[in-house]
Chains A and B, each alone.
Chain A
Amino acid sequence: MLTKKILFSAVSALGLTLVTNMSFALMPEEQKGLDISVEAKKRDLGWQDSTADMMMLLRNKQGQESIREIKMKSLEVQNDGDKSLTIFNKPRDVKGTAFLSFSHPVEADDQWLFLPALKRVKRISSRNKSGPFMGSEFAFEDLSSFEVEKYTYKFLAEEPLNELKMFKVEQYPVDENSGYTRRIVWLDTQEYRVYKIDFYDRKDSLLKTLTFSDYKQYLNKHWRADKQEMINHQNGKSTELLWSNYGFKTGLADSDFNRNSLKRAR
């Protein structure tokens, strides 16, 4: 036991020496993966604030369907993750429930839930990023904003998909609470829009695939997909997201993303 401890310390010390003597250079494919992701993020900067309606169609293996209707307001924050206010409209028993999130690239997000039956604002743990959002196949982390610092990267290849040339990049979540060991993302080389994501679970098996379609451009710059479909290969369930009524630069500010606005969110 003690020998093991000494051996471990010796190896760690050696490793530490080696690492500190090296510069933090990334391998070429890691650097390319990072560059692509940074460019993708940069292409979308400057949307300031956005509002959109989302309809979620949940399907289970037996073909049963269930609908969720949500309104989302988002605020772009400089040097930090986005603020978002998600308001639930359907099913009717959750109508009036609202969810406020201040996301941060590396630290835990700050999240509050408004429960309309009690008129109560409750701060919740944000560690539940791997849990299903409203019983769908989208996890909380799948719906939060993309921040470069949330992952480390490796460029895999350039390959065609949907008659477009794509970058294929592997992403490794930095947060240990993530439900994934890695994600493989296909972005088109022209506009850096994400077309497909393969999610690998904690056992590194293929869990889900997300496809994006019907991209539309807003304000001559920002691309948003009208349709997203998540298929869970392991349980046979799927969830379709249909976005509509996109609005950008509508004049939202910090005052629209606080406890008071959470309480009156509709």
Chain B
Amino acid sequence: MISKSIKYTSTALAISTSLLLARPLFANEMPSDLEFEVSGNIAVEQRYFFKEAPYPQQLGHNQLSLSIEPELYWEWNGGNDSVIFTPFYRVDSQDDNRTHGDIRELAYVHASDDWELRVGIRKEFWGVTEFQHLVDVINQTDGVEDFDGEDKLGQQMVNLSLVNDWGIVDVFLLPGFRERTYAGEEGRLRGPLVVDKNNVSYESSAGQQHLDFALRWSHSVGDYDLGAYWFHGTNREAYLTPTPQVTMLDVTSYTLQQYYAQMDQLGVDVQATLGDWLWKFEGIFRSTSIEDFWATQAGFEYSFIGIMDSNIDLGLLMEHSWDSRGETELGEQGSLMQNDLFLGARLAFNDMQSSELLMGIGSDLDHNAFSFLIEASRRFGDNFIASFDVRLLQSNDENDLLYMLSNDDHAQISLAWYF
């Protein structure tokens, strides 16, 4: 799976690089102003789950892992041409599925006055909200990394970006699809059934090789930042259905089969920056062969600068999630966030160590379910960042999707070395 991506990307990279760099006289010379730099981080992460594992094979209380993510960067022509390579690898002490690697980026970017060409494996983020990134569609979620869905797998792309007075237009060709990663048998933060990595089917006969397409317009007008797009291709979210597996002892167990449908998705994101208030909205309309639905994420962020005559900034956030599919029976396709309210507070101490404290509460307005998170982070010395997180998931309603994770309250401490 990864080797095929590398093959496609290397070919694309080689072609574009030679096309753009080929000059009759200097075809074999290295650019005179070639610069190279390495940076990145190595992090160790320890999780402690407060409750016993609910399902057999799952890890007990402790989960230790180590991750490394270096970034190699080359630039020439004063930065107008660049190549970036960012591999990632995590070793997990308990969950074999969580021990995984990915090429987060391997791409060439050529920047000209009013256009840019970006080719290779990259990450593209779209969105304005904090608690859910609804419009962020390009990259597949590296779900096994963390359950907030913010970590993404690299995505192969050819992206042309055109800058105009009336906005920036991005055209994306996305060859190749990445399957989502899920916790394995030993992993926590999963439901009773494990997702079978080898049982994947696609609506499109092209399967993983389907060529996806996206077109996006974004613009800043006065206090408003706007974005709208159309995506046509493989749905990054799999439909998971229980499938029986017959074992040697003729006992039927179940795993989850992944089915990736084709979709058309329209997305809109708006932010209004009015004084100390940030008003944010994201909306999507998705059409697949199975269903059509729309979903929104809307809210605000308000900042108090320098509270109580100190240097501390306090940011207050509130967002609401809505999914037109509404409450769904367990096993039906739906969203975890169908009618949920999120409140958050962010304290930035603005000290030499960049200390920060985040607190968030999420509440499902249809079910009796809530999630609570607290995160503290601080720099030690010049190169170390320590973070401490606590996540609590509470649900009493068996029909609620969050109920599956309600035994997985955990605390996490991590220490990262940045170089």
Contacts and interface: CB of A to CB of B under 8 A. Distances in A.
Contacts of A110: 220, 273
Contacts of A258: 163, 168
Contact of A91 (B73, B275, B379): B379
A255 B165 CA distance: 11
Interface string A56-96: 00101000101100000000000000000000001111111
A126 to B, nearest CB: 8
Interface in B303-321: 303, 305-306, 311, 313
B351 interface: yes
Given A58-B352, A135-B354, A259-B218, A120 B127 contact: yes
B124 A119 contact: yes
Contact of A135 (B111, B124, B218, B350): B350
Contacts of A266: 73, 75, 79, 82
Interface string B382-398: 11010000000000000
Interface residues of B, number: 46
A221 interface: no
A244 interface: no
A255 B163 contact: yes
Contacts of B367: none
A92 B352 contact: no
B400 to A, nearest CB: 28
Contacts of A108: 275
Contacts of B114: 255
A119 B127 CA distance: 11
Task: Give the residue among A123, A127, A179, A261 with the most B Cβ atoms within 10 A.
Answer: A123
B353 interface: yes
B352 A123 contact: no
B354 A127 contact: no
A135 B275 contact: no
A92 B125 contact: no
A128 to B, nearest CB: 5
Interface string A207-242: 000000000000000000000000000000000000
Given A135-B354, A253-B113, A258-B163, A125 B125 contact: no
Nearest to A91: B382
A125 B161 CA distance: 26
A130 B277 contact: no
B147 interface: no
B311 A67 contact: no
A194 B128 CA distance: 40
Contacts of B313: 128, 131
B350 to A, nearest CB: 5
A128 B349 CA distance: 13
A132 interface: yes
A121 B170 CA distance: 15
B84 to A, nearest CB: 9
A124 interface: yes
Contact of A67 (B125, B218, B382): B382
B416 A127 contact: no
B196 to A, nearest CB: 30
A55 to B, nearest CB: 13
A125 B350 CA distance: 16
Contacts of B351: 135
A119 B123 contact: yes
Contacts of B350: 131-132, 135
A128 B379 contact: no
A95 B418 contact: yes
B305 A128 contact: yes
B419 to A, nearest CB: 6
Given A119-B125, A127-B303, A66 B382 contact: yes
B125 to A, nearest CB: 5
A167 to B, nearest CB: 31
B134 to A, nearest CB: 14
A17 interface: no
B109 interface: yes
B44 interface: no
Contacts of A92: 39, 41, 382-383, 418-419
B64 interface: no
Nearest to A203: B309
B278 interface: yes
A177 B306 CA distance: 11
A93 B383 contact: yes
Given A92-B382, A93-B385, A259-B218, A123 B225 contact: yes
Contacts of A3: none
A255 B113 contact: yes
Contacts of B45: none
B82 A264 contact: yes
Nearest to B309: A202
B150 interface: yes
A207 to B, nearest CB: 11
22 contacts: A93-B379, A95-B418, A110-B273, A119-B124, A121-B125, A124-B273, A125-B278, A126-B273, A127-B303, A128-B303, A130-B305, A130-B306, A131-B313, A135-B350, A135-B352, A179-B306, A255-B113, A258-B163, A259-B218, A260-B116, A261-B111, A266-B73
Given A66-B352, A259-B218, 17 more contacts: A67-B382, A91-B382, A91-B418, A92-B41, A92-B418, A93-B383, A95-B418, A108-B275, A110-B220, A118-B125, A125-B278, A135-B350, A255-B113, A258-B168, A260-B161, A264-B111, A266-B82
Interface of B: 39, 41, 73, 75, 79, 82, 109, 111, 113-114, 116, 123-125, 127-128, 150, 161, 163, 168, 218, 220, 225, 271, 273, 275-278, 303, 305-306, 311, 313, 350-354, 379, 382-383, 385, 416, 418-419
Which 9 residue pairs spanning A and B have beta carbons closest together? A92-B418, A93-B418, A132-B350, A120-B125, A119-B125, A135-B352, A128-B305, A119-B123, A66-B352
